[in-house]
Chains A and B, each alone.
Chain A
């Protein structure tokens, strides 16, 4: 494993006696992109300010390349090895060129080098043609590209991004996200990226930290965080809307029978009878059929009868809530919804495989 470039140890941050951040340990590896996700008010931005040396912890220590930061010391030289980008572009009055070169001028970089980097990074961000434009005339997407170029032109050892796409419309956001992903893959700049958007975290993060209530609850590769959340809070945040509390009744050949509020479900997991568990089901794991329609033969061992409570459009699909004694949320494409003749109040069968539920053991 590569050495950590930034690390926190026993860190807490309190405002007026209220703890807003508590991180026993965190290490950001060199060259890695760490996505920090969590709901609003989770402490993500506070964490980013700590890592960017823009705020000091109430307790604990921050390490840069293994060295603890001097308390109360001058951090300017260390801060100049990093660069931050915020949700708003926060450009200063002037042209695009003046803004992109701002950090370099603050460092009194040689003008020839400033010119070289300006050319390189404005081209990389697709804003070379805007160089002489005043920033007041830019669109939101262009302004955020300038903001990113202004940070990247510094060729920092650590890039800190605080929800940089949150204020952009979806097409602009997707374009910028794709460009940034390509740039980070090429430049291998250590990046800490804070977002409340799961898709952005999946797109950029090589590691994902889920932060809720000022604590990092899970830190892992994205696939594991999204497939195997460690508790209900994380499960719900990573998009698992169906979390069922149950108790293992019996286990036969690795197949557990779990009692869930009056229903029994087959779950393929190494469980023991009597264990209390949470079963997490992603919407896309659940298939719906109108009652009376015989489904095609499948390995969906669990089939629960219920009624459609409501359906909400989410992009190309509907998010359908079904009352089967327990509430399940399924994702159904609009095409399937119409072909199956589904409607609110319709009697349906919700089916899913025994391997579908992710199991969280309860103490």
Chain B
């Protein structure tokens, strides 16, 4: 208990003082995970809407694959993204391994199935006849999809939260493809592991608190938007 108490006090001091290293790590975490979440939204929402609204051979298999992808272990993602990005790998020429971009790619692979899967569920919970009704009022296909997504926006925001939550807290992929390089690819989770292993508990606790605060702040903002929509 003593250790936690002392560590927490040190952590608060570090945060209050605005330790540049800690802030840099926090900012990079937010940047990387935010970008990965945004990219997963750009890919996952249209793909989820497509899978929810169309019928084609193999659709069921595609949805099963997406649902399976929702539980992808980050270390597995890290391993495969590493293999692809290694100098001798298929995408080695891009020289992205051990860069923030590599972490974004790995986190995108983790978040995209979550956003896609939850988008499928969100769109499918909208009244099944609403699509027909919108077409019957003269909506184009694009307008129909947009209006259906608008109707599903509350569960879609939950998809955003789930996607962001998954990537801001993962460590395996970030460690493997980012390498936890000081001032380059060190993010909150990898830094916490490192500081813990070095016995710097106060820094590790500070980083953990910061991770929780960041996660809380983002989710609070999204929840506020979501509940505004619900109670309007």
Contacts and interface: CB of A to CB of B under 8 A. Distances in A.
21 contacts: A49-B132, A52-B136, A54-B136, A84-B136, A84-B137, A85-B136, A86-B129, A86-B136, A88-B127, A88-B129, A90-B133, A92-B151, A93-B150, A93-B151, A93-B229, A103-B137, A106-B143, A134-B232, A150-B137, A154-B138, A160-B136
Interface stretch (A75-83, A299-307, A335-343, A344-352): A75-83
Contacts of A49: 132
**In the complex, which range does the number of interface residues on chain A fall in?**
20 to 34
B129 A90 contact: yes
B132 A92 contact: no
Interface string B131-169: 011011111100100010011000000000000000000
Given A84-B137, A106-B139, A134-B232, 19 more contacts: A54-B136, A76-B140, A79-B135, A79-B138, A82-B138, A83-B137, A84-B132, A84-B133, A86-B132, A86-B133, A86-B136, A88-B127, A92-B147, A92-B150, A93-B150, A102-B137, A103-B137, A106-B138, A151-B137
Interface in A23-65: 49, 52, 54
A76 B137 contact: no
Find the residue from B132, B133, B137, B140 having the highest chain A CB count within 10 A: B137
Nearest to A78: B138
B136 A107 contact: no
Contacts of A106: 137-140, 143
Contacts of B217: none
B138 A103 contact: yes
Contacts of B129: 86, 88, 90
The interface residues of chain A, by DSSP majority, are classed as mixed
Contacts of B127: 88, 90
Interface string B162-187: 00000000000000000000000000
Nearest to B130: A90
Interface of B: 127, 129-130, 132-133, 135-140, 143, 147, 150-151, 229, 232
A264 to B, nearest CB: 54
A88 B232 CA distance: 22
Contacts of A54: 132, 135-136
Nearest to B229: A93
Nearest to B143: A106
Nearest to B139: A106
Nearest to A89: B133
Nearest to A77: B138
A132 B52 CA distance: 32
Given A88-B127, A90-B129, A106-B143, A83 B150 contact: no
A195 to B, nearest CB: 17
Contacts of B232: 93, 134
Nearest to B141: A76
A154 B138 CA distance: 9
B153 to A, nearest CB: 8
Contacts of A150: 137
B59 to A, nearest CB: 16
Nearest 3 A-B pairs (CB), nearest first?
A84-B136, A80-B138, A103-B137
A26 B136 CA distance: 21
A54 B140 CA distance: 12
Find the residue from A85, A103, A106 having the highest chain B CB count within 10 A: A106
A79 B232 CA distance: 32
Contacts of A107: 138
B232 to A, nearest CB: 7
B142 to A, nearest CB: 10
A311 B150 CA distance: 53
A58 B140 CA distance: 23
A307 B133 CA distance: 52
A89 to B, nearest CB: 9
